[in-house]
């Protein structure tokens, strides 16, 4: 069953439950309300009759005089003498008088409904003035009259509920359609992503959480597109990087085999072949390391690291290159700085960044540590604007770069350690690498 049908069915079922419970509660309460309202009206009518009787008949006539008046009112009532426990007059058939007397309703003021045979009545009792006479006017309304009103009200309520249910179902359809339509469109866009048709992915209009999902899908498509392109670029660059030393090795090997070189050139060729083999080995090792860093979390063994000790290891290992390049390596370290990472791999990342800075520096490289932030900058020519967005991608390198994998490895290690690495322009004139770890 489709999602829209499921939602409509759920809304309809919920609506039916709510309407059923509401109808039952209203139907149960309406009779009590009608009885209370009828008793109030009977009391008002009775008080009005008593007022007329007191004003016009008590002073100048007998009970028979205002009994005729009461019979003319077309009301169901009794004139009851509480002192003699006797009904003096009645506008109702004698059978009701006997039935009420048997049940002792006249003497009992607590009963709300009087019952005689299969008939029930709502009553209201009003004393005539003065109260010492014990005369009481009792007005009655058949309960069937109220039940007729109740049923008529309930029929009208059913009509209202039916109209409301139809309107609600229609509104439910419109709302669920508005909810499901963006999801259906998103499904089509995901199908395009599945078929790698990234250029055909379109934005979907939506609101709320669906808008957030749509944005995530769109971002995922762009990221997958970028990843696919980077993978193609990676394989192209990798094949190029591997092809160059292989061609050099092949050329010298064939020349030596065919005795093209003399002894001096042959010795030079062998040295070149060894150099290119070492270069190949370095590229392959770094490619393997980068693949492991990207795919194997178990490669990381985080521990608490004193950053000052880590930087001292970097200084020791870069000393030969610093001497060769005649570069001054300055450092300013917060001795209390501590971070949580894989020490061996983080050392590799810092060495890659530092070696990169030394190779590109003119005369100076600065390493600064403040808290959980490590900054490595040089006074070289810096990184061109068009290269900055790709500087951490594989096989992207500057003029004096080596394999083009060092910064990619550094980024992978830093990010897997929960940190972030960024590149900016340095005040020294060259590049500035900022590595930030969680406190």
pLDDT tens-digit readout, 264-286: 778 888 888 888 788 787 777 77
The span from the CA of 396 to the CA of 415, in Å, is 19
Mean pLDDT, rounded, for 310-338: 86
Sign of CA dihedral 240, 241, 243, 244: positive
Mean pLDDT, rounded, for 343-349: 85
Predicted pLDDT at 230: 67
Mean pLDDT over the full length of the chain: 81
Examine residue 267 and say whether the peptide bond preceding it is cis (omega within 30 degrees of 0).
no
The span from the CA of 305 to the CA of 294, in Å, is 22
pLDDT band at 238 (very low <50, low <70, confident <90, very high): low
**Token pair belonging to 312:** 């001292």
Predicted pLDDT at 297: 55
* Whether the predicted pLDDT of 349 surpasses 80: yes
The span from the CA of 431 to the CA of 439, in Å, is 25
Predicted pLDDT at 236: 65
Least confident of 321-330, 399-408, 413-422: 399-408
Mean pLDDT, rounded, for 392-416: 72
* Whether the predicted pLDDT of 64 surpasses 80: no
317 alpha carbon, distance to own chain's centre: 50
Predicted pLDDT at 105: 84
Mean pLDDT, rounded, for 43-55: 83
Predicted pLDDT at 399: 57
The span from the CA of 184 to the CA of 74, in Å, is 71
pLDDT band at 253 (very low <50, low <70, confident <90, very high): confident
Predicted pLDDT at 237: 63
What is the tens place of the pLDDT at every residue in 167-191? 878 887 787 777 777 778 878 888 8
pLDDT band at 319 (very low <50, low <70, confident <90, very high): confident
What is the tens place of the pLDDT at every residue in 193-206? 888 877 777 887 87
Parallel, antiparallel or unpaired: strands 86-90 and 76-81: antiparallel
Least confident of 12-16, 287-291, 360-364: 287-291
For residue 21, give every residue at least 6 positions away whose Cβ sits within 8 Å of its Cβ, in sequence order, or none: none
Highest mean pLDDT among 4-8, 250-254, 368-372 belongs to 368-372
Q: Taking the complete model, does pTM exceed 0.95, yes or no? A: no
Predicted pLDDT at 110: 67
Predicted pLDDT at 85: 84
The span from the CA of 12 to the CA of 16, in Å, is 6
């Amino acid at each position: 069953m489709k999602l829209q049908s499921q939602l409509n069915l759920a809304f309809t079922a919920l609506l039916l439950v709510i309407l059923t419970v509401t109808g039952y509660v209203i139907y149960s309460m309406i009779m009590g309300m009608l009885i209370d309202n009828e008793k109030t009206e009977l009391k008002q009518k009775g008080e009005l009759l008593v007022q007329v009787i007191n004003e016009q008949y008590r002073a100048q006539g007998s009970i028979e005089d205002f009994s005729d008046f009461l019979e003319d009112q077309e009301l169901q009532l009794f004139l009851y003498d509480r002192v003699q426990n006797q009904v003096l007059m009645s506008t109702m058939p004698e059978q009701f008088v006997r039935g009420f007397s048997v049940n002792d309703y006249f003497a009992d003021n607590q009963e709300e409904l009087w019952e005689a045979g299969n008939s029930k009545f709502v009553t209201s009792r009003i004393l005539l003035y003065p109260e010492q006479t014990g005369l009481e006017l009792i007005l009655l309304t058949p309960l069937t009259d109220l039940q007729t009103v109740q049923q008529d009200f309930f029929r009208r309520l059913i009509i209202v509920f039916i109209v409301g249910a139809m309107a609600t179902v229609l509104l439910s359809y419109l709302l669920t359609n508005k909810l499901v339509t963006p999801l259906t469109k998103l499904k089509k866009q995901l199908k395009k992503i599945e078929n790698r048709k990234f250029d055909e992915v379109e934005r979907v209009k939506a609101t709320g959480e669906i808008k957030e999902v749509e944005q995530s899908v769109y971002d995922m498509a762009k990221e997958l597109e970028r990843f696919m392109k980077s993978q193609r670029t990676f394989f192209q660059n990798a094949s190029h990087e591997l092809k160059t030393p292989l061609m050099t090795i092949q050329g010298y090997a064939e020349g030596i085999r065919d005795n093209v070189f003399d002894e001096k050139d042959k010795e030079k060729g062998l040295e070149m072949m060894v150099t290119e083999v070492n270069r190949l080995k370095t590229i392959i090792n770094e490619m393997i390391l980068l693949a492991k860093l990207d795919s194997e979390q178990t490669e990381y063994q985080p521990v608490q690291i004193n950053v000052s000790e880590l930087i001292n290891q970097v200084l020791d290992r870069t000393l030969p290159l610093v001497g060769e390049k005649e570069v001054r390596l300055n450092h300013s370290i917060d001795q209390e700085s501590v971070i949580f990472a894989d020490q061996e791999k983080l050392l590799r990342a810092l060495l890659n960044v530092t070696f990169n800075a030394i190779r590109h520096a003119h005369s100076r490289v600065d390493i600064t540590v403040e808290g959980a932030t490590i900054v490595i900058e040089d006074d070289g020519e810096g990184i061109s604007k068009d290269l900055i967005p790709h500087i951490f991608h594989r096989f992207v390198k500057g003029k004096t770069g080596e394999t083009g994998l060092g910064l990619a490895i550094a980024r992978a290690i830093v990010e897997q350690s929960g940190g972030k690495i960024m590149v900016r322009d340095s005040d020294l004139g060259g590049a500035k690498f900022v590595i930030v770890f969680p406190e």
